[in-house]
């Protein structure tokens, strides 16, 4: 964080410094006492399972100058507030306001917000690497997209930062609007409107209303980067005062991909076309869905002032950054494991199946767990997924766990042979046992499910089983 005295921190969050002491935050802001280094500010988040207040002494021992808390504590100076998470947002807002003071046109901080149902982290990782080629960039690790992760990302920026990349998640109306009040983006990127968290929103249109809060928050001199291939996204254009830049495969898009090809490792190459410029891109991330993400990242980087050639070169140099998203690993015995177990919804399942179909293989196996939070349409969606897997050329569908049974039903209904083409297993252990038996060199195994099913453990087991084989 930029240097701030404890009195300034208390003023920014509307808290009471207890005891009233001098001191300066010279390090970072963190909610994890294990990550505290001397000079840091520790935020005690009251969680469901653990309460950050139980770690105040540990934070003090590790050198924290102060903590943001709900009550005073003998261990260290506390800035006492009612809600530490809300206070964290206010602190980030104050810092962001300082870093953007005097804008626009001063060459100061450019803030980019990214939202969408699928691909936020993937796009953020691409854009973070692209912008880093043009100037000092802050882009969070992993999926820092909520009321804690986003302020922490903002607080990582300082006077030297030129580009700030923010992932914005939404689990309901008003969430993205709130994140935009912490740090109003200059550039807002909307990737797609799918069915992630459909259960909570009720309908895809409801999701579009919530995601569109990002473009509503943009200033007139800002840029909305909208995916022209998604009708609900391009439909957001009238909701913004900002200039609109469209991205996509369609001929009319401002920033588009032509001549898309996949190499034998499933990585896409395409010609980035924008204005009169054309530049070839060869992505290092896996799956054709990454073309859309790359175009969105390109649209944002161009809006931030980069030249098309530089964007294409940086996209081609960008490597996978976050775990468990289309991680393709070859075992010593020649079995290939595709770990996409970070999360799942119908759209990301289909993207992963398409990527699996694009990989050369003797046999394609999809080990799929359930998709959570789909609401009343869940049963149909699981069955449709099983059918789609067969249509995508998957040779064996393994449905893991009781919630995933519908996937196997769908595969059987689409003509997969019982046991040979579609199998139900009760849990991860049973899946591991089955796969240990059936996998042979040349097989490609996709592992994917919603986060709560923890299938990344299965993917790791499969890799460990093949080590030294």
292 contact, one of ligand ATP, Mg ion, none, CB 5-8 Å limit per kind: ligand ATP
Q: Is position 146 an interface residue for Mg ion (rule: CB under 5 A)?
A: no
Shortest Å, Cβ 143 to Mg ion: 3
Residue of the chain from 5, 18, 24, 143 that contacts Mg ion (CB under 5 A): 143
268 contact, one of Mg ion, ligand ATP, none, CB 5-8 Å limit per kind: none
* Contacts to ligand ATP by CB under 6 A: 116, 118-122, 143, 145, 169, 191-192, 196, 289, 292-293, 325-326, 340, 342-343, 347-348, 351-352
Q: Which residues are annotated as a binding site for ATP?
A: 116-122
Task: Pick between residue 346 and residue 401 the one whose CB is nearest to ligand ATP.
Answer: 346
The site for Mg ion, by CB under 5 A, has a size of 3
Pick from 378, 319, 322: which is nearest to 349 by CA? Answer: 378
> How far apart, in Å, do the first and last CA atoms of the chain sit?
48
Task: Report d(CA 159, CA 178) in Å as an integer.
Answer: 24
In this chain, which residue has its C-beta nearest to Mg ion?
143
Q: Checking DSSP bridges between strand 163-167 and strand 110-115, what pairing results, if any?
A: parallel
In the chain, DSSP finds a helix count (H) and a strand count (E) of 17, 22
Shortest Å, Cβ 125 to ligand ATP: 8
Strand order in the sheet with 78-80: 16-18, 78-80, 66-69, 41-43, 29-30
The alpha carbon of residue 447 and the mean position of all alpha carbons in its chain are separated, in whole angstroms, by: 18
Q: Is position 121 an interface residue for Mg ion (rule: CB under 5 A)?
A: yes
Element (H, E) at 98: helix 84-100
Task: Pick between residue 69 and residue 296 the one whose CB is nearest to Mg ion.
Answer: 296
Task: Report d(CA 301, CA 130) in Å as an integer.
Answer: 7
Task: Pick between residue 116 and residue 212 the one whose CB is nearest to Mg ion.
Answer: 116
Contact 240, 188 (CB under 8 A): yes
Q: Which residues are annotated as a binding site?
A: 116-122
Which residue matches tokens 């009781």? 402
Shortest Å, Cβ 283 to ligand ATP: 12
Q: Is position 120 an interface residue for Mg ion (rule: CB under 5 A)?
A: yes
Hey, is 358 helix, strand or coil? coil
- Residue 104: asked if its preceding bond is cis (omega within 30°), the reply is yes
The alpha carbon of residue 213 and the mean position of all alpha carbons in its chain are separated, in whole angstroms, by: 18
Task: Pick between residue 118 and residue 246 the one whose CB is nearest to ligand ATP.
Answer: 118
Task: Pick between residue 76 and residue 224 the one whose CB is nearest to ligand ATP.
Answer: 224
325 contact, one of Mg ion, ligand ATP, none, CB 5-8 Å limit per kind: ligand ATP
Task: Pick between residue 254 and residue 288 the one whose CB is nearest to ligand ATP.
Answer: 288
131 contact, one of ligand ATP, Mg ion, none, CB 5-8 Å limit per kind: none
Element (H, E) at 468: none
Applying CB under 5 A, the residues found at the interface with Mg ion are 120-121, 143
């Amino acid at each position: 964080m930029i240097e701030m005295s404890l009195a300034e921190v208390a003023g920014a969050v509307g808290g009471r410094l207890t005891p009233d002491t001098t001191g300066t935050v010279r390090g970072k802001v963190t909610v994890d006492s294990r990550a505290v280094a001397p000079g840091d500010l520790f935020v005690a988040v009251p969680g469901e399972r653990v309460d950050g207040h139980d770690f105040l002494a540990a934070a003090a021992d590790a050198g924290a100058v102060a903590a943001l808390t709900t009550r005073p504590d003998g261990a260290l100076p506390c800035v006492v507030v009612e809600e530490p998470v809300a206070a964290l947002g206010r602190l980030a807002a104050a810092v962001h306001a300082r870093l953007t003071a005097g804008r626009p046109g001063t060459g100061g901080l450019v803030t980019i917000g990214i939202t969408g149902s699928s691909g936020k982290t993937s796009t953020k990782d691409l854009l973070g690497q692209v912008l880093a080629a043009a100037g000092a960039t802050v882009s969070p690790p992993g999926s820092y997209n909520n009321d804690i992760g986003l302020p922490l990302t903002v607080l990582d920026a300082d006077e030297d930062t030129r580009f700030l990349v923010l992932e914005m998640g939404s689990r309901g109306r008003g969430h993205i609007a709130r994140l935009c009040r912490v740090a109003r983006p200059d550039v807002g990127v909307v990737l797609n409107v799918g069915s992630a968290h459909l259960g909570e929103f009720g309908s895809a249109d409801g999701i579009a209303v919530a995601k569109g809060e990002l473009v509503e928050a943009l200033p007139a001199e800002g840029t909305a980067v909208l995916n022209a291939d998604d009708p609900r996204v391009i439909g957001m254009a009238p909701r913004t005062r900002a200039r609109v830049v469209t991205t996509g495969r369609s001929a009319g898009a401002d920033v588009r991909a032509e001549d898309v090809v996949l190499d034998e490792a499933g990585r896409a190459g395409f010609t980035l076309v924008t204005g009169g410029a054309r530049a070839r891109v060869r992505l290092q991330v896996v799956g054709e869905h990454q073309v859309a993400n790359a175009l969105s990242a390109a649209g944002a980087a161009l809006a931030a002032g980069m030249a098309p050639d530089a964007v294409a070169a940086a996209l081609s140099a960008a490597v996978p950054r976050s775990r468990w998203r289309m991680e393709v690993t070859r075992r010593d015995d020649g079995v290939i494991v595709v770990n996409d177990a970070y999360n799942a919804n119908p759209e990301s399942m289909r993207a992963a199946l398409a990527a699996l179909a694009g990989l050369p293989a003797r046999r394609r196996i999809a080990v799929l767990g359930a998709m959570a939070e789909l609401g009343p349409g869940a049963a149909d969606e699981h069955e449709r997924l099983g059918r789609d897997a067969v249509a995508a050329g998957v040779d064996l569908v393994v449905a893991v766990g009781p919630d995933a049974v519908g996937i196997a039903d769908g595969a059987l209904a689409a003509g997969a042979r019982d046991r040979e083409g579609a199998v139900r297993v009760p849990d991860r252990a049973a899946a591991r046992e089955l796969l240990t038996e059936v996998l042979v060199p040349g097989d490609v195994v996709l592992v994917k499910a919603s986060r709560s099913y923890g299938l990344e453990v299965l993917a790791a087991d499969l890799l460990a089983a093949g080590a030294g084989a």
